[in-house]
Amino acid sequence: MRNLFYKFINYLSKKVSENVVFDPKNSLKARISRVLYGFCWRIVFVRKKNFSHSKKKINLFFWPVWGEEYLDNFFLYSLPSLLSKNNFHWISKNYQCELDLYFCDDFDYLKKKYTSISLIPKSIKLNIHKVQINKNDSSYDKKQLSIYLEHIQRCLDNNSMGMTLTADMIYSEDSLKNLLLLSDGKNYCYGTSHARVLNSSKVKDYLNKYKKDGAIEINHKRLVKIAYENLSKTFTMMNDKLDKNISHKSFSWRLIGENKISVVASTLSPYFCNYEKSDYHIVSNLSKFAEFDRLIPHFLFHQSRLKIIPSSNIFFAIELTFDKDDRYNESDLLPMKNNDQPLNISSPYIYMLNSIPQIWEFDKD
């Protein structure tokens, strides 16, 4: 019975879509199709009316950092990439800014060990939070989500924009400036995908070449090149030109010509948000931290609040990926050459993302 129901829904959906778009006559079936279509999309989508704002405050939020390897990546690579003149320094000159950092270690100890923390512009208000987090503990998800709820509430209380940053990501030299200029006055949220690369000495040696006075100034083309030449094992197998691949795992890519990569991603990282009270309610109902990247953009999309950044020219970041976090099963490799869709598409949000190729451009030499 269930299979028959799904077959009927698929048949009805096909007929409705055909008559809504391709029937130029005002026939009875076209009118019925348009009524059904209009009813459905009004249930699924909310038209955004408050599309403008005049906020001049921004709260920068880093997910908690702990463990020596992750602390090294944060203080030696991620933070220095944000210390470039068109990231933190540009924001500090144009916005009233707060930065929230969460550590398990004693902050005085971290300040002595890593000098990059002292290079954060003095005009940025620095809020340090001491937390206790164990990834293997049953309270891990609840703790992470409660920290994010604090960030949302802080933005709501201060009437400020919010930007979510990750400690194992390296950002191109003008990503934050571009993102703020793109969103200036617009009451929306912005998301994009990023590249996962090997956490290797080769990658770090390359990044160190662009470090000067504690800041990493690297443009998006050079950062994309690092990504392309050092993709993680999982990302390597997401190449849709491979006879067997894992392009069905929410991400696929292919090389275009000599210096461009086309990316089709079914998940996004919500980097920048203008929060509303409903966001707090939605996050408070999440049960797993892993749902953050999937469900939050999904919710924003249905509220007509999500904008997609389609080009590395505007915003680009790479994620340093450890071997222990870079695994896939051989059974996941399927003969799906040229595929760029997940196996199971369960919402209009996924269909929308699948219609937008993002373009990453890199230097040829």
Q: How far is CA 194 from the centre of its chain?
A: 7
Output the pLDDT for position 206. Answer: 95
pTM, entire model: 0.87
Helix 28-44 to helix 2-22 angle (10° resolution) is: 110
Structure tokens at 160: 């400020």
Q: 28 Cβ partners below 8 Å, 6+ apart?
A: none
Cα gap 205→202, rounded to integer Å: 5
Cα gap 166→58, rounded to integer Å: 16
Residues 133 and 66 sit within 8 Å (Cβ to Cβ): yes
Q: Containing H/E element for 320?
A: strand 317-321
Helix 277-284 to helix 140-158 angle (10° resolution) is: 170
pLDDT tens, position by position, 8-60:
767 666 766 666 655 556 677 777 776 766 666 666 677 777 788 888 999 99
Instruction: State how far the alpha carbon of 46 is from the alpha carbons of 49, 294, 301, in Å.
Output: 9, 19, 9
Output the pLDDT for position 37. Answer: 66
Structure tokens at 245: 């691949």
Output the pLDDT for position 254. Answer: 96
Phi, psi of 51 (to 5 degrees): -85, 0
Output the pLDDT for position 298. Answer: 84
Of 234, 229, 235, 197, residue with least CA distance to 77: 197
pLDDT beneath 50: ranges in the chain: none
Q: 243 Cβ partners below 8 Å, 6+ apart?
A: 335, 337
Residues 232 and 196 sit within 8 Å (Cβ to Cβ): yes
Question: How many Cα neighbours within 13 Å face the side chain of 106?
Answer: 4
Of 210, 215, 211, 219, residue with least CA distance to 174: 219
Cα gap 356→249, rounded to integer Å: 17
Residue 297: CB atoms within 10 Å: 21
Environment class of residue 355 by beta-carbon count within 10 Å: exposed (0-12), middle (13-18) or buried (19+)?
exposed
Cα gap 279→188, rounded to integer Å: 13
Output the pLDDT for position 24. Answer: 57
| Alpha helix segments (H runs only) across the chain | 2-22, 28-44, 68-73, 79-82, 88-94, 107-113, 140-158, 175-183, 201-208, 220-229, 233-236, 277-284, 292-302, 348-354
Identity of residue 95: Y
Cα gap 361→357, rounded to integer Å: 13
Output the pLDDT for position 280. Answer: 92
Cα gap 311→308, rounded to integer Å: 9
Beta bridge partners of 65: 103
